[in-house]
Amino acid sequence: MSITFCRFGQQFVSVESDDTGHVTKTETKRQGKPVLPYSSMFIFAPNNGIRRFCHFVVNLRYFDLFIMIVICASSIALATEDPVAENSTRNKILEHFDYAFTGVFTVEMVLKIIDLGVVFHPGAYCRDPWNILDAIVVLCALVAFTMNRNAVRLGKPGTSASAKNLNTIKSLRVLRVLRPLKTINRVPKLKAVFDCVVSSLRNVFNILIVFCLFQFIFAVIAVQLLQGKFFYCNDASKLSKEECQGQFFEYNEQGVPTVVWRQWNSQGFNYDNVYYAMLTLFTVTTGEGWPTVLKNSMDATYVNQGPIEDYRQEMAIFYVTFFIVFPFFFVNIFVALIIITFQKQGENELFNLELDKNQKRCVDFAINAHPLCRYMPKDRRSWKYRVWRLVVSTPFEYYIMVMIALNTLILMMKYHRQERKTSMATTIDTAQQNYHNYCNTLIFLNSAFTVMFSFECVLKIMAFGPKNYFRDRWNIFDFITVIGSITDVLVSELQQSAFLSLGFLRLFRAARLIKLLRQGYTIRILLWTFIQSVKALPYVCLLIAMLFFIYCIIGMQVFGNIKNDPMTQMNIHNNFQTFASGLLLLFRCATGENWQEVMLDCDAGRECEGAGESCGSKMTYLYFVTFIFLCSFLMLNLFVAVIMDNFDYLTRDSSILGPHHLDEYVRVWAEYDPTARGKVHHTDMYEMLRNMEPPVGFGKKCPYRLAYRKLIRMNMPVDENGMVHFTTTLFALIRESLGIKIGPTEVMDQRDNELRYCLCRLWPVQAKRMLNILVPPDSELTYYKMTVGKIYAGLLMLENHRLEKQPQCKDQSPDRRKLSSADTSPQSEKSADLLARFFGGVVHASHRSPRTSETEDDLNNVPRWRSPLKVISPSR
């Protein structure tokens, strides 16, 4: 008896085997982390009671959950603050909550420092970057509280010292926005996505340097050509700085004149120095506002001179060249490298487990797959069976599809008729009558289609019964669509006024078109891949949402008190005065819609909403540039990376088994197991695999000898009734097709243990209940147990034995040779009966004779999991 322990994180996999190497028991246990064998802060020894208590608290199962709840509550408090009325009652209440949150995080930091130590030994608190981030946030919050208390107790409002302290306190309090980042280290899958993003940035760092270098070169050229030439006078009639003096009349939309002082202004984006030049070129790289910059460059004249239209048309060459080098070349290279490195980082996580992503996805499909239930009435003479046979028939399905297509055409024929002015009243009345009749016809046809689809729904409920009908998701979708369509027809007929508007119910008419997606093998694969892409996006969306949250809170703290001006981009619709409006503004900037104007309107010197001299900040350029870079160039491209990762089968060899193929296995299995028991007879399993085309099944054209070899390698256990399990067969099919942990017979026990370890590591929860189903223990594959490999190896040997007994003449014609090989002699039938009795009645002797000869040595040379018939003694 031997026990092997494999550790990954806090999970321990114990594999228990007997003296022969056969695995008898596999368990997955959670073990606590031991105390570090170093002195903490030179005070607390490893066996110190205080340190052991801190270690116990920090490693409690619900400690991280409690911290996560506090982080979420703290984030909600940050989002509900009022940036305009700083002394409001709401902010004072939230300030007391902030004291409590900071106290919790301080206690957490102290407990971890006592448990792990500070920095002087491996595993210490400050050796982890996430702990350093926590400490910075906590210390800045404590310093801000201390300075705030001193300012309230000693400071005098209105003084320069008070204003300076207030700005410092605001800067420190802004760091509270980093608290949500603490959740990344506590959610493994979110941390995996974050690590992939960081690794992507690290790998594209060199191309980023080249990007900045080339942009610096273009910025220097632009400064040499256009420095000081982007100035203009607010009075368009004055073209020089000397003339731009005094006052002039400015007329508003109503034609009322007002007196305005002339000012010599500069364009928001200019090339007066390298800093502004690189900022201007970055906005051009994003494709926003570049026509305005191009026009200003072409209209530029000389220093202290106003613009003249198309004075320098040759400047267009500069921007064309810049667009070719940057938006068309460098940006796409940068995005492509991020996507590629993001995908490779996911593959590197599986490298130590010797699995690729395709194998992992196929195994994941097998773990989560369940047999489908295909209901069929038992009494074939009943009316229920006749109705069932009608609704499941192919002509009925085609009829419904045609009706859906016709219903879609009817929906497309509706239009809005606009009245045209004409002098002939008779013509107007005739046109109105024709339009009215046309609309009534469409309404009648739509009602007829609704009745037809309702009748289909009733027939299916009668055929399947309510319980079995609602087991199918497509039936649920059909039922909801029918109910919505009926409600739409009733409301349209009974509604006499516009008091109740239920126009959204008409969406159910067009929703029927979605039913066409389940028709066709290729469309089903695309739909399945789309669903898998959506399932893979939550943690990417969560990371992007965290980025939006952080930048929104910073925007509220820094730009929240800017006064709304309808003449600027910071108005009643676009501002940072509330969390919701801030998110909408950032979402607009992420799409690239005029984000550069929002950046300029958040610059320092803006008018304040409340009390204050000026609002805005010079950090607006850093704020918006980093947001656009991280969001538009990095985060949003993660969607592309995930989608490309799920659609990689389009560029892969179609003969390689993938998870998009396996849905066909579930569908065909339901034909042989309509009640979804999860088991079929091994002969039905053989027929099922022959009916499925490669790469899932064997295909009808597959030689039976090759099919037998595959079944020998699969070697699933067979129960006393000759049945095989759904999940075991699917996993064995995947393992044989993709070559997962397969080798010679003498190393298969080791390969099975390795595969069990991989399953326990990648799917720790599912492995506890499904490990023996996926990888049957050796107790199910011993010489005393029947397996598929033994059955079909015996059948293959039987066919070889029969061929050897048949006389083969070299001078036989091909037709006679084929005929003789196809004959079934009584001797072969007798051998089949003997083999059936030898296998306990499990094997049936009704198999076709082989068409080609093969020796028994060919079977021994076949690579397989384990020899299914080795050392079987006659006594057994």
Summarised one tens digit per residue, pLDDT across range 255-286 is 788 888 999 999 989 999 999 999 999 999 99
With 0-12 CB in 10 A as exposed, 13-18 as middle and 19+ as buried, what is 90?
A: exposed
Instruction: For residues 539 and 492, state if they share a domain.
Output: no
In a domain, 98, yes or no: yes
Bridge partners of residue 17, in order along the sequence:
2, 23
Strand, helix or coil for residue 29 = strand
Half-sphere exposure at residue 741, Cβ-oriented, CA atoms within 13 angstroms: 22
Average pLDDT over residues 508-531: 76
pLDDT in tens, 247-257: 888 888 777 88
Instruction: For residues 59 and 181, state if they share a domain.
Output: yes
**CATH classification at residue 579:** 1.10.287.70
Length of the chain equals 876
End position of a domain, from candidates 128, 161, 186: 186
Confidence category of residue 233, pLDDT binned at 50, 70, 90: very high
Instruction: For residues 388 and 436, state if they share a domain.
Output: yes
End position of a domain, from candidates 519, 542, 567: 519
In a domain, 636, yes or no: yes
In a domain, 564, yes or no: yes
Instruction: For residues 561 and 628, state if they share a domain.
Output: yes
How far from 839 is each of 140, 778, 784, 844, CA to CA, in Å?
Answer: 76, 19, 10, 10
In a domain, 148, yes or no: yes
Over its C-alpha atoms, the chain yields an Rg (Å, rounded) of: 37
708 token code pair? 């037998």
End position of a domain, from candidates 186, 220, 244: 186
Instruction: For residues 848 and 703, state if they share a domain.
Output: yes
Instruction: For residues 511 and 590, state if they share a domain.
Output: no
Confidence (pTM): 0.77
Alpha helices by DSSP H, listed for 117-204, are 129-154, 160-174, 188-203
In a domain, 771, yes or no: yes
pLDDT on residue 588 = 92
pLDDT on residue 356 = 83
Which comes out higher in pLDDT, residue 649 or 682?
682
In angstroms, the CA 236 to CA 144 distance is 50
- Residue 114 pLDDT exceeds 90: yes
CB atoms under 10 Å from CB of 356, counted, come to 14
Average pLDDT over residues 15-35: 55
pLDDT on residue 418 = 60
- Mean pLDDT of the residues in the chain: 80
Q: How many domains would you assign to the chain? A: 4
In a domain, 669, yes or no: no
pLDDT in tens, 172-216: 778 888 888 888 888 888 888 888 888 888 878 888 899 899 999
Are 443 and 495 contacting, i.e. CB atoms less than 8 angstroms apart? no
In a domain, 65, yes or no: yes
CB atoms under 10 Å from CB of 456, counted, come to 17
Instruction: For residues 790 and 743, state if they share a domain.
Output: yes
Strand, helix or coil for residue 3 = strand
- Residue 838 pLDDT exceeds 80: no
Confidence category of residue 658, pLDDT binned at 50, 70, 90: confident
Average pLDDT over residues 624-629: 93
Nearest of 582, 586, 540 to residue 560 by alpha carbon = 582
pLDDT in tens, 773-809: 999 988 887 777 888 988 988 888 888 888 887 765 4
Instruction: For residues 484 and 538, state if they share a domain.
Output: no
Beta strands 679-681; 723-725: pairing state: antiparallel
Instruction: For residues 477 and 542, state if they share a domain.
Output: no
Which comes out higher in pLDDT, residue 577 or 743?
577
Instruction: For residues 497 and 554, state if they share a domain.
Output: no
- Residue 163 pLDDT exceeds 60: no
Are 194 and 184 contacting, i.e. CB atoms less than 8 angstroms apart? yes
pLDDT on residue 727 = 94
Residue 802 sits in which domain range? Answer: 698-860
How far from 644 is each of 146, 342, 707, CA to CA, in Å?
Answer: 51, 11, 34
Q: Give me the residue label for tokens 């970057």.
A: 129
Instruction: For residues 178 and 52, state if they share a domain.
Output: yes
In a domain, 277, yes or no: no
**CATH classification at residue 435:** 1.20.120.350
Confidence category of residue 54, pLDDT binned at 50, 70, 90: very high
Instruction: For residues 556 and 704, state if they share a domain.
Output: no
- Residue 819 pLDDT exceeds 50: no
556 token code pair? 């509220």
In angstroms, the CA 599 to CA 594 distance is 9
810 token code pair? 């070299």
Are 557 and 173 contacting, i.e. CB atoms less than 8 angstroms apart? yes
pLDDT on residue 841 = 44
B/e letters for 137-155, b = 16+ CB within 10 Å, e = fewer, are bbebbeebbebbeebeeeb
pLDDT in tens, 722-736: 899 999 999 999 999
- Residue 371 pLDDT exceeds 80: yes
